[in-house]
Structure 1
């Protein structure tokens, strides 16, 4: 065949198979019909938008779907995009597509939440109009516990949900439920948790003295569980043998402390502060003192929902990111506290919620503390945070075997989508999705999760 012969022209002379697996070019081209199935699924709305633009341009250039498929099959989708980009401004086309208002496929949405301050952006976006500003009519629904949140989200009773940041990873991996592709496009809050002990333990502040203690955490797949385990293990206690850890819904933690069913809990606010307010407990330490900037709760949504309604997903993500940015401003915290304290949301005294959000609070030991970043709000879902969570899931036997930490982090924590939404709202996302984190004075390098995991003397996996 001459160099100027058109392999897509049926009148051209027969052409050999370029991959070596077929008898002719025609057979090779026919096999490309499965391309849309075998192509890797775009990971998030931005990747999906890029692919739409690339596909539209290649179809326009080659005229027919068969020619487009054949060309892409010859050189690969990435090479095809690069070749076309040399003669067509693909980058500008993608930018123009991103700037075009997206069609919102579904405006009426149900989003489940647990009544805790970690859900502040999801909750306050309702009374303060952030959802409406992005063209959505969202009903935020108080939910009893994390297993209920998970099950209702999986059953599509909720379109999206407030989840603990490890939950989308667990759902995707099939830990605690059937494996279903789930995503976490945005972190809801960072910090914002505490270890609260019963007043009778005010003289037992050293975790080495906690052998036999009974602790509550909100859920097995939670930062609360992993941070409590980390903390006592660093003190030499085995969290599965030397103490008891049970899952208790956050709204029930103070009552269990009062009834002497537990000695303490590592839980979300406002319940740490409510224990102080009710005089039944004191704040032993804030989790920011274990890992400053750690993730806690998240905005989570199924990959199926993103695929079915990308415009709705994009509008919802923008509303959440904008509400998160508003909540992060200390000047807005009292206003936000007033919005989320009422009965249909947190159902807590506004004073309690203000103490949490402003960081000026009584600790139950006779002191007033001022910690402005007791809780903070940052939507960016660092892949390195996901990798750390996966090491702890493996450390305590929740997942087993070899896993591709980086790939799972990328599939579930949709940093690219969040970065795009942040830029569209005039915010500045990080340039990379991985960084080193320091937990209890020890650096965690996301490039070496197995080495980090092997460094712990106390572990199950």
Structure 2
């Protein structure tokens, strides 16, 4: 953080994905200045880079995978560090993409496990970070098809922009990533969408606004102003005409750098906002942005499912999530913007395989 003309400047990292839109909109609309901040945005090459720069202090906050935050806090697949979630930036908006032969086989009704067994080598699937949301959606979906994601396939970590080319070259058999990289694979004819993440878990948490816990605790005024800025940007993005405006910003080379038509197909499928439970949502009267404790418990449960996290001691998860989810900061920002806040901290979710998570 720096001070410029008495206005605090915060450096935020983001990945070139559709759901970085709240950060871009906040700066383009001057919402940061409205809340007494100046945001400096820096595009990153990978989620590992975002992790490393958050921990080193090079970034004050970041557009981050929800699962990345919980994984770092638990010390899985890397150094342990205390991070915080200020708000959820979006729900849904990711997809699992398969090579055309696999997609064709699935469409014909053949079991995925059978199709993978016919490949000349061990199947390779890519995700974007070992404990990230994309890994969790991919592993959950594979397991539901009777495929063990830790034994039956090889999992590879790749930055999203590299995935379509790797699929085209035959290096991958499928991947899970945020849009527009599923849409791009289909546009290039190198891959086909198998399932959208919003179909797998309608209304699932995706990207969050993450920061170091020390920043959230020791600079509460800045954390509050940052939360209010991004919450207002998320609310702005729920309007179709606003998303059309954001398309041009996201298409620019320094942000995502793909044709505007590809961006618009993700933000406005069919020319309108997808208001369904499975569509890309940024606000939905605040239901998207509240950092639900039950969402965090789902990720911890998945970490234990795959053997990465020891069984919880009594009260351990509640303490961990209470430290990560800055609910007081969120509630204060929501009150300023007159955004409704739920009366409870957990919610009920229904996943595609019939599992109910509460």
- TM-score calculated relative to the size of structure 1: 0.69
SS state of the match for residue 309, structure 2? coil
> What does residue range 163-312 of structure 1 map to in structure 2 within 5 Å?
163-205=64-106, 206-208=111-113, 209-211=115-117, 212-312=122-222
SS state of the match for residue 107, structure 1? strand
318-327 vs 395-404, which deviates more? 395-404
SS state of the match for residue 151, structure 2? coil
Partner Cα distance (2:193, 2:232) in 1: 31
SS state of the match for residue 129, structure 2? coil
Contact kept? 1:105, 1:309, Cα under 8 Å: no
Per-residue Cα deviation, 1:342-398 (whole angstroms, up to 9, x for no partner):
11111111111110011228xxxxxxx995553111211110000001000111122
Contact kept? 1:359, 1:375, Cα under 8 Å: no
Q: How many residues align?
A: 336
2:268 maps to 1:358: yes
2:38 maps to 1:137: yes
Question: Which of 234, 237, 254 is the equivalent residue of 1:324?
Answer: 234
Contact kept? 1:128, 1:339, Cα under 8 Å: no
1:405 Cα offset (Å): 2.0
| Counterpart in the other structure of 1:95 | none
> What does residue range 29-178 of structure 1 map to in structure 2 within 5 Å?
107-178=8-79
| Counterpart in the other structure of 2:280 | 375
Question: Which of 412, 423, 431 is the equivalent residue of 2:335?
Answer: 423
Higher relative contact order (CA 8 A, sep 6+): 2
SS state of the match for residue 347, structure 1? coil
Report the RMSD for the aligned CA atoms in angstroms. 2.0
Partner Cα distance (2:215, 2:103) in 1: 48
- Mind listing any 5+ residue stretches in structure 2 that lack a counterpart? 283-287
**Cα 1:105–1:418 shift into 2, 3 Å:** farther
Partner Cα distance (1:395, 1:294) in 2: 18
Per-residue Cα deviation, 1:303-334 (whole angstroms, up to 9, x for no partner):
11123322111111100111111112334221
Question: Which of 255, 260, 285 is the equivalent residue of 1:345?
Answer: 255
**Cα 1:210–1:422 shift into 2, 3 Å:** farther
Partner Cα distance (1:203, 1:167) in 2: 32
1:213 Cα offset (Å): 2.8
1:165 Cα offset (Å): 0.3
- Mind listing any 5+ residue stretches in structure 1 that lack a counterpart? 1-103, 362-368, 447-461
| Counterpart in the other structure of 1:414 | 326
Partner Cα distance (1:147, 1:160) in 2: 14
Partner Cα distance (1:106, 1:166) in 2: 32
1:445 Cα offset (Å): 4.2
